[in-house]
Structures are given as C-alpha cells and as structure tokens.
Structure 1
Amino acid sequence: MKREALLNAAESLLSEHGTQALTLAAVADRAGVSKGGLLYHFPTKEALVKALVARVIEEFDDLIASYDDGTPGSYDRAYVEATFEILTGEARTHRRWSAITAAATDPEQAEPLNEAMRRWHGRAPTEDPDPVGAMVVRLAAEGLWEVVSHAPGLYGADQLEALKQRLLALLQR
C-alpha cells in the first residue's frame, strides 16, 4: 500500500467523521490494508498526522508557486489565487485542511503549520507599493478561508468570485 493512499484514507476519515475517528485501525481498514501495513509507513498516529500536515503545507506552497510569476506584487496575488483555488476549485479542499489542522492538536504536530503561517504571512511585501495593504489582503483571504471552513454554504460562487476580484484589485492600488 502506498503512502499516498494511506494519507488519502486518513484524510477521508477526518473529513467525514472528525478527529475522533482517526485511529490507526480505522485508517488501515479504510485503506484496505493490515494495521501492520499501515505501521510500516506510519508507526504512530502522531507520525500520520505530521505527514498529513506536511502534505497540505506542500500543496499550498505548490499552488502559490504555480501562480507566482516573480513580478512585483506577484506573491500576494498568488496567495489570493491559491486561497481561492482551495476554497472554490474543483476539489474544494478547505474542509480537508480544516480536518487535518484540527487533528494536529499537539504543539509539536502543529509546529510545521505554525512555521508555514509565519512564512506565508510574515513575508515582507517589499516589492509592493503598499506593503500594509498587501498584508491586509493576505489576512482577509485567510479569514475568509476560516469562515468558509466553518460555514461552507455561506457564500455562493458569484460572491466568492467577487471577493477574489476585490482582493486582487486592492493589490493593484
């Protein structure tokens, strides 16, 4: 059984049933492997959660990189685009993110996500004519992500598109 399939099984359990459902036995059962097969890749639940957190961080980093063309202000535009890709893209993976971050309750498990947040939000937008405005836009995108994670049906597709366009327009000033 491949590592990615085990992570997918763990993610689906988290998304469908919450953190209480994330046990090694349940993940092995969902993935259709023996517990020993799971333990080969993830010897503890903590190791599994750590791998889940690392995967979502890498996913977001990759999305930002895919939109960042290196021009002045492009990181902030890329951050907004990547956020909305998570919120509105075909996969709509924000629920998965919420479930994974909820599972990382131990400070050691949460530290990679905390470090990523420091990196994503602590980046000084020096090439931006309005660095504080750029920080506000990133924080607004982050706040929207949090709201949509807790109330997925609050905003329709048209409203989310309008919010994205407004945030991007704020970066043009």
Structure 2
Amino acid sequence: MRRDELLDAAEELLCDQGSAALTLAAVADRAGVSKGGLLYHFSSKEALIKGMVERLIGDFDDLMAAQPHDTYTKRYLGATLAAVRSGRLRRWAVVTGASGNLFLLAPLRDAMTRWHREALAEEADPVASQIVRLACEGLWDVASHDPGLHSESDLVALEARLLALL
C-alpha cells in the first residue's frame, strides 16, 4: 500500500470519527492493511500526523504553483478557491485538530508564516493583500466545517470582490 493511501485512510478516519479514533490500528484497519504494513511507512501516530501535515503543505504549495495569476496574493486566492472547490481543504481542520502537539504542527506554522511573509515583499498594497489572504483563511475554516455552504456562484462572486480589493 502506498503512503498516500494510508494518509487518506487516516484523514477519512479523522473526518468520520474525530481525533480520539485516530489510532494506528484503526488507520490500518481503514486502509485494509496490517498494522505492520502501516508501521513500515509511519513508525508512530506522531509520524502519521506529521505526514498528514506535510502533505497538506505540499498540496497547497502545488496549488499555488499552478495558479496563472501575476501576484502572490492572487495566486493564494486562486489556490484557496481551487482547494475549496475540490473539497481538499477539509483536511486542514481535521489534521490540525488531530494534534495537540505543537511540535507536530510546527511545519504548518512555518508554512503559514512563509505564505504570508512572501506576499509582503511583492504586493503593491500590502494591507489589501493581507485582507484578501485573511479572507482566504476564513474561507478555509468555513469550508472545512461546512463544505456545501458556498455554491459555485457564491465562490465566483467572492473571488471577484476579493480581486477587486487588489
């Protein structure tokens, strides 16, 4: 079984049953592998959570890189909307909720710092770009808890209004 399939199983378990249900045995069962098969890829629950966090960061970095926009904040907005539309943002809430260990969330804190500080150096209006990025953060949070709240037309209208701020 591949590493991503194990991470998918862990994320599904978190979404369905919450962080208390996240055990190596439960993840192995959900993935349909032996606990030894899971341990081959992730030596502990902490390693599994760290793997989920690192994948989240990589996924968002990939979405950012795929955006055609000309400024950092426009790429950030485009990546956020792509993640919302695909349902991928739900992972953020469940994964960050799974860990009470700040060490495990350190890579996510570092990525958030990088995502927000990189924009400061390039944006013509740093305050407007910060407002847009913070709106994206709010959209992430809402979409992770209520993925069906915003229709496609709602997302198009939000994007247009946020782009107008820039």
User: What TM-score, normalized by structure 1, do the two folds share?
Assistant: 0.89
Matched residue of 2:120: which SS?
A: coil
Q: Which moved more, 1:10-19 or 1:112-121?
A: 10-19
Query: 2:118 is matched with which residue: 115, 123, 135?
Result: 123
Matched residue of 2:150: which SS?
A: coil
Match of 1:21 in 2: 21
Q: Which amino acid aligns with 1:9?
A: A
Q: Which amino acid aligns with 1:85?
A: A
Q: Which runs of 5+ in 1 are unaligned?
A: none
Query: Is 1:68–1:75's contact at 8 Å kept on the other side of the alignment?
Result: no
Deviations along 1:124-158, one digit per CA (max 9) or x if unpaired, are 43332211111111111111211222333433322
Query: Is 1:87–1:148's contact at 8 Å kept on the other side of the alignment?
Result: yes
Matched residue of 2:124: which SS?
A: coil
Match of 1:65 in 2: 65
Query: Is 2:84–2:143's contact at 8 Å kept on the other side of the alignment?
Result: yes
Q: Matched residues in 1 for 2:144 and 2:113: separation?
A: 20
Q: Which amino acid aligns with 2:136?
A: A
CA shift at 1:159, angstroms? 1.4
What is the root-mean-square deviation of aligned Cα atoms in Å? 1.5
Q: Matched residues in 2 for 1:28 and 1:155: separation?
A: 34
CA shift at 1:105, angstroms? 1.9
Q: Which amino acid aligns with 1:45?
A: K
CA shift at 1:114, angstroms? 0.6
Match of 1:141 in 2: 136
CA shift at 1:59, angstroms? 0.1
How many matched pairs?
Answer: 166
Query: Is 1:13–1:21's contact at 8 Å kept on the other side of the alignment?
Result: yes
Change (3 A) 1:115 1:68: farther
Q: Which amino acid aligns with 2:76?
A: Y
Q: Matched residues in 2 for 1:162 and 1:124: separation?
A: 23
1:38 counterpart = 2:38: yes
Q: Which amino acid aligns with 2:115?
A: W
% identity of equivalent residues: 54
Q: Which runs of 5+ in 2 are unaligned?
A: none
Change (3 A) 1:106 1:31: same
Query: Is 1:53–1:104's contact at 8 Å kept on the other side of the alignment?
Result: no
Query: Is 1:53–1:113's contact at 8 Å kept on the other side of the alignment?
Result: yes
Match of 1:76 in 2: 73
Matched residue of 2:161: which SS?
A: helix
Match of 2:10 in 1: 10
CA shift at 1:98, angstroms? 1.1
Query: 1:94 is matched with which residue: 89, 92, 95?
Result: 89
